[in-house]
């Protein structure tokens, strides 16, 4: 008797030789997720007012978005190792477009939250596929360099998102932010179909759900991979904690407008872009391990400086945002290198690894937004403490990596 999954056990067909996709398109595909996440942040108080719900209910749309990205990446990664990067990317963009239309027309906060989850599940395809595509084409140290350059350019997209959201809210209301996302979702599939080549060298046969679980198990059995995933998640969690707490600190604690928050956040994004440039410039020369170490030192230093600064001086927009410049540079350096290191533990499962690491980022980020939301009362201390705790977690995970004596370091 032929097993029901026998057809999936046959060797997967060899796909065409990998060709490096256009960097500008990789930037757009990677940036759509962060842009969509951040474009509605300045409008959250108006969302709460429109639906007559507490601010915490409106903020839940942000947390749910992060959870949607986390879960979506677990699906796209292994499927892309089996069926190719391009088909999964197109499927994700279709889901993103439908979710954006639903969000723009949502009649209640509950349906808006569901629509934001669908947006996230679709947008995360670009985040997973671009990392895997780069790793398909380049070896580890060069992959870190290329990811750094992509992330440097990608910061322009989410950097502008809060300001775009604030201006759209002021002119047309918060629904205009979701209309802008729908327009983006209509353009990206066209560009993908016309400009994006397939990069997967050879598909990996994954027999249904059990194959996906085996791929995950292969990764989770590696302590080295798990540590790199925690390093990536905790270091980016510092940034997510700040994004969750900063609007309340600036608007409620200091009395600034959403536009002021958006402009201040752009400065932080420039710092991240600078760090990404350094990663792109020097990771190939200095190596992943050294650059990752440097990046985490800056991230941790900035997070601890946030706490000390609030103790030493009076809360102001300068004292609150200045330490984030260090965090931004540190994240820009550490993120490409920790991602490249994680994806290189099992190169034949780069798509699955990309999904798992991305899911860890978003899951830890979602947890940090909840903690920052609970701890922050407008003074900045709650946000700063969550940031510091997350940075220390990244340092502990990196210490375990060193203890394991990574032969690739």
How confident is the model at residue 308, as a pLDDT?
92
Distance CA 319, CA 330 (A): 18
The arithmetic mean of pLDDT across residues 198-218, rounded, is 69
Provide CB contacts within 8 A for 154, sequence distance 6+.
27, 30, 31, 34, 276
The answer on pLDDT for 32 being more than 50 is yes
Residue bearing the bigger pLDDT, 114 or 257: 114
Band of pLDDT at residue 152, cut at 50, 70 and 90: low
In the prediction, which pLDDT does 302 show?
A: 94
- What confidence score (pLDDT) does residue 213 get? 76
pLDDT tens-place string over residues 76-130? 777 777 777 888 889 999 999 999 999 999 999 999 999 999 999 999 888 878 8
Q: Round to whole Å and give the CA distance between 47 and 57.
A: 9
Q: Is 202 left (phi over 0), alpha (psi -120 to 50) or beta?
A: beta
Q: Residue 154 — very low, low, confident or very high, per pLDDT cuts 50/70/90?
A: low
Lowest mean pLDDT among 55-59, 294-298, 364-368: 55-59
405 pLDDT band, cuts 50/70/90, is low
Euclidean distance between CA atoms 40 and 30, whole angstroms:
18
- Quick check: 159 pLDDT over 80? no
Longest CA pairwise span in the chain (Å): 76
Taking only the tens place, the pLDDT of each residue in 360-374 is 887 888 888 888 877
């Amino acid at each position: 008797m032929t097993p029901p999954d026998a057809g999936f056990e046959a060797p997967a067909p060899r796909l065409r030789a990998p060709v490096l996709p256009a960097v500008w398109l990789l930037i757009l595909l990677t940036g759509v997720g962060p842009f969509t996440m951040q474009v509605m942040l300045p409008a959250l108080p108006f969302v709460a007012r429109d639906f007559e719900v507490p601010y915490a209910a409106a903020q839940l749309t942000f947390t749910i978005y992060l959870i949607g990205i986390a879960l979506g990446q677990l699906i796209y990664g292994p499927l892309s190792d089996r069926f190719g990067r391009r088909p999964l990317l197109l499927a994700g963009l279709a889901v993103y477009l439908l979710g954006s239309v639903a969000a723009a027309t949502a009649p209640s906060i509950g349906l808006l939250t569901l629509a934001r989850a669908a947006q996230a599940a679709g947008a995360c395809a670009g985040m997973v596929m671009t990392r895997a595509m780069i790793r398909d084409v380049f070896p580890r140290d060069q992959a870190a360099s290329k990811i750094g350059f992509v992330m440097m350019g990608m910061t322009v997209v989410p950097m502008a998102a809060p300001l775009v959201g604030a201006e759209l809210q002021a002119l047309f209301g918060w629904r205009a932010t979701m209309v802008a996302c729908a327009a983006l979702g209509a353009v990206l599939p066209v560009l993908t179909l016309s400009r994006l080549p397939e990069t997967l060298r050879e598909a990996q046969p994954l027999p249904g759900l059990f194959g996906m679980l085996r791929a995950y198990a292969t990764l989770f059995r590696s302590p080295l991979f798990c540590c790199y995933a925690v390093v990536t998640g905790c270091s980016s969690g510092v940034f997510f904690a700040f994004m969750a707490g900063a609007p309340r600190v600036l608007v409620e604690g200091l009395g600034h407008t959403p536009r002021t928050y958006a402009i201040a956040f752009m400065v932080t994004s420039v710092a991240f872009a600078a760090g990404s440039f350094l990663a792109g410039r020097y990771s190939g020369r200095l190596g992943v391990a050294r650059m990752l170490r440097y990046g985490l030192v800056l991230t941790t230093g900035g997070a601890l400086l946030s706490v000390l600064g609030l103790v030493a001086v009076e809360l102001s927009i300068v004292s609150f945002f200045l330490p984030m410049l260090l965090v931004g540079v540190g994240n820009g350096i550490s993120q490409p290198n920790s991602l490249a290191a994680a994806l290189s533990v099992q190169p034949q499962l780069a798509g699955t690894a990309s999904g798992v690491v991305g899911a860890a980022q978003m899951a830890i980020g979602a947890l940090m937004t909840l903690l920052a939301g609970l701890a922050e009362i407008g003074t900045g201390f709650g946000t700063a403490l969550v940031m510091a705790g997350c940075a220390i977690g990244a340092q502990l995970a990196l210490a375990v990596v060193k203890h394991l004596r990574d032969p690739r370091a």
